[in-house]
Amino acid sequence: MKKKIKLAIVGTGSRGFGCFGQLLSKRDDVDLVALCDTNPVRVRAAAELLNISPRFYGSIDEMAKKETLDGVIITTPDCEHYACAMKALKTGWNVLIDKPLATNAKDGKALIRQAKKSGKSLMIGFNLRHSEVLKRLKKLIDDGVLGRVFIAENREFYGGGRTYMSRWNRSFAKTGGLWIHKASHDFDIFNWLLGFPKPLRVSSFAAVNVLDKDHLPFKLERNIKPGPDCNHCHYQKKCKDSYVLSGDALKLWGDEAVAADGYVKNVCMYLSDKDNHDNGLAMVEYEGGIKVSLFETFICNTSDRIYTIAGDKAVAEVSLTNRTITVTPRWGGDVVTYHVEIPEGGHGGADPSLVDTFCRIVRGEEQSTSTAEHGLLATALGQAAEMSRRQHRMVEMSEVLS
């Protein structure tokens, strides 16, 4: 039996509780000794729902004074990643930050310097790297089945992304923009699939076109305002986007938790203040003439990532949801469709694999391949795309990375 590693989670919300807490609390080789969250109601509710008895902390500074840990998982809103990870690294803990590395490249670089100084691992939770479909696609590319890849596209449809406009995710100050918050996954996958060519320049267009006060999906009644959140909204039953919290979610996110810090998870997404986009396009040009484009919409009822990757021998078309990869050779021949088996678990089985990897890294059994340097590249691409959309111009990567 392996010696148990001591871990803690900072931020016990959707990911901290729903993914990492659930997975780690069931492992024999892990002692989840502490949970940390600024919200005292949520942190205790998370422990109760996980059926564990950890020590509780309201801040990572407090936790650092008392705990001796092997590693920590940071699942706070993105704007807190820098301060929490910096503290964890200085304390001498291995760190997993659930993407993105940080909300800007400057903070990301400082974290990389600190990780080197502390001699600790700083892994980024790029769970898409653990998708069996994308692992198969990468193998096909690496085996040369597509030939020399020169253009790639990913169209992301994210039904769940609508809820971004109800939560902190809608705010540029808390995320650095959705091209970082959401698309850091996707920029990382492009970089990884293509073998990390150097990105040169980025352009993007993105806006809020639907999830605003002019596009309420129901007719207003005289003198009755919608909101302020779905649980207390008069139009709850008429609104097709209504997100009413019930059951265990109320323990984590209900009125008692809201009273502690004012964080409401289901503010009316049409009326909320927002400065992040609800749909957009971004393009990157890499060295060697490779081009990629990313289409993102949060106004849809499905979730899928649909890729087209073209090389000089064949084109691959991929659907993560359908778990298929179809390869069409350039000069005829058999069109082959691969149906990829996926294991149980969140994000198509990717989350358990991500957690497993972090545990092995903490044990010193392997090195991280989702490195902080890769996290920096994805954050920097997102920052450049965000600058492009705001400043209406193409942004050179040297502007964010030098």
Ligand X SMILES: NC(=O)c1ccc[n+]([C@@H]2O[C@H](COP(=O)([O-])OP(=O)(O)OC[C@H]3O[C@@H](n4cnc5c(N)ncnc54)[C@H](O)[C@@H]3O)[C@@H](O)[C@H]2O)c1
Residues that bind ligand X (CB under 6 A): 10-16, 36-39, 42, 60, 75-78, 80, 84, 98-99, 125, 127, 181, 263, 347
The least distance separating ligand X from the CB of residue 28, rounded to whole angstroms, comes to 24
Q: Within 119-223, where are the H helices?
A: 132-142, 172-175, 178-181, 183-193
Contacts of 322 (CB under 8 A, 6+ apart): 304
**What are the tokens at 250?**
């109320």
Q: How far is the CB of 123 from ligand X (least distance, A)?
A: 12
What does the buried/exposed string (b/e) look like for 263-278 if buried means 16 or more CB atoms within 10 Å of the residue's CB?
A: bbbbbbbbbbebebbb
Q: Which lies closer to ligand X via its Cβ, residue 161 or residue 199?
A: 161
Q: What single-letter amino acid sits at 395? A: V
Q: Locate 144 and state its tokens.
A: 């040369």
Residues in Cβ contact with 259 at an 8 Å cutoff, skipping those fewer than 6 apart: 41
Q: Please say which residue, 36 or 395, places its beta carbon nearer to ligand X.
A: 36
Q: How far apart are CA 104 and CA 63, in angstroms?
A: 26
Question: Cβ distance 201 to 396 under 8 Å?
Answer: yes
* Shortest CB 327 distance to ligand X, Å: 27
Q: Which residue lies nearer to ligand X by CB, 39 or 383?
A: 39
Q: Minimal distance in Å, beta carbon 345 to ligand X? A: 12
| Residue showing the smallest CB distance to ligand X in the complex | 13
Helix axes 81-91, 105-118, angle to 10 degrees: 10
Q: Which is nearer to ligand X, 46 or 193 (CB)?
A: 46
Least distance from ligand X to the Cβ atom of residue 260, Å: 9
Residue 368 CB, nearest distance to ligand X (Å)?
Answer: 15
Question: Residue 62 is which amino acid?
Answer: E
* Smallest separation (angstroms) from ligand X to the CB of 189: 12
**Among residues 99 and 277, whose Cβ is nearest to ligand X?**
99
- CA 217 to centroid of chain Cα atoms: 28
Closest CB 54 distance from ligand X, rounded Å: 14
Minimum CB distance to ligand X smaller for 105 or for 290: 105
Shortest separation between residue 285's beta carbon and ligand X, angstroms: 27
Token representation of residue 191: 């970089």
- Cα–Cα distance measured from residue 35 to residue 23, given in angstroms and rounded to the nearest whole number: 14
Of 38 and 371, which CB lies nearer to ligand X in the complex structure?
38
99 vs 305 by CB, closer to ligand X: 99
* CB 300, min distance to ligand X, A: 17
In whole angstroms, what is the distance from residue 327 CA to residue 336 CA? 5
Residue with tokens 């949060």: 298
d(CA 376, CA 107): 9
Q: Give the nearer residue to ligand X in terms of CB position, either 128 or 309.
A: 128
Q: What is the nearest approach in angstroms of ligand X to the Cβ of residue 56?
A: 11
Greatest alpha-carbon pair distance for the chain in Å reads 67
Give the phi and the psi of residue 33 in degrees, each rounded to 5: -80, -25
Q: What is the end-to-end Cα distance of the chain in Å, rounded?
A: 47
E strand spans, 177-277: 199-207
Q: Closest CB to ligand X among 12 and 121? A: 12
Residue whose CB is less far from ligand X, 327 or 377 = 377
Q: Determine the Cα–Cα distance for residues 24 and 47; give it in Å rounded to an integer.
A: 12
Q: Count of alpha carbons within 13 Å of 349, Cβ hemisphere only?
A: 13
Whether the upstream peptide bond of residue 40 has omega within 30° of 0, thus cis, is no
